[in-house]
Amino acid sequence: MKTTIAIISTLFVLLGNTLFAQHEAGIAYDKDQKAIFIESFPATQYRHMGTVNCAAYSPDGVDKLIEHMMKQVTKQLAGVEYDAIIFRQGSGLCKADIVQYYRDPKAKKSRAKKGEENEVPAEYKLSKANARGEVLLFIKNSPTAPNTLLGKIELPVTFKSSDVEEYINEMMKVASKTYSKFDALVFIEGTNLMKANVINFK
């Protein structure tokens, strides 16, 4: 009897993990032909090329921090070819791993036409969202699993901070006060982490 219960419990855990894995999938943002992963990591296999940190003085705001860190790659890892930046969770976008995807040795390297830029291959932007407790966060990352919008939340205009982590933590507090249960927060692009959609996966 105990063996049967243990087997059933294991099956429920495996089923839950499978469903969670489906829900965590997303499509990451890209900039200057590089895939950007915030509160997420690539679903495609990659190799680690190095780690970079913010300079002593770094700008505020998500977009400015991304630009700053891309410049830091050039300074701290000069000459390194890379495909994506994975920002370390909990670092306030001030620490990131620089990675390169494994390539098919038989594949021909595509070249952009004059005046055009190569697009980031779709598989390079496939992501898996990181969880904070039982909640998934999508920042510059769009969930691909079917979901239901519970509503929109935003921080008060009086809320100010130079720390990205404080914005994330405050938004999670607001969401928890408004909704008893939710699966994920999808931060709205262009709002500097001040607004988010609250969703449940189907």
pLDDT tens sequence across 58-96: 888 899 999 999 999 999 999 999 999 999 999 999 999
129: containing domain? 24-201
CA distances 29 to 36, 40, 165, 193, Å, are 6, 11, 19, 15
The tokens of 163 are what? Answer: 């720390």
% helix, strand, coil for the chain, step of 5: 30, 35, 40
Asked if residue 31 is part of any domain, the answer here is: yes
CA angle 55, 165, 33 (to 5 degrees): 60
Asked if residue 151 is part of any domain, the answer here is: yes
**Overall average pLDDT of the 106-120 stretch:** 61
Asked if residue 123 is part of any domain, the answer here is: yes
Report the C-alpha gap between 126 and 50 in whole angstroms. 21
Predicted confidence (pLDDT) per residue in 101-111, tens digit? 998 766 665 55
**Overall average pLDDT of the 126-150 stretch:** 95
Report the C-alpha gap between 160 and 181 in whole angstroms. 27
pTM: 0.84
Q: How many domains does the chain fold into?
A: 1
pLDDT value for 10 = 38
Asked if residue 2 is part of any domain, the answer here is: no
Asked if residue 191 is part of any domain, the answer here is: yes
The tokens of 104 are what? Answer: 């098919």
Asked if residue 43 is part of any domain, the answer here is: yes
| Amino acid, single-letter form, for residue 24 | E
What is the residue-averaged pLDDT of the chain? 86
CA angle 43, 48, 54 (to 5 degrees): 100
Report the C-alpha gap between 21 and 16 in whole angstroms. 9
Report the C-alpha gap between 191 and 113 in whole angstroms. 34
| Amino acid, single-letter form, for residue 110 | S
Asked if residue 9 is part of any domain, the answer here is: no
Asked if residue 136 is part of any domain, the answer here is: yes
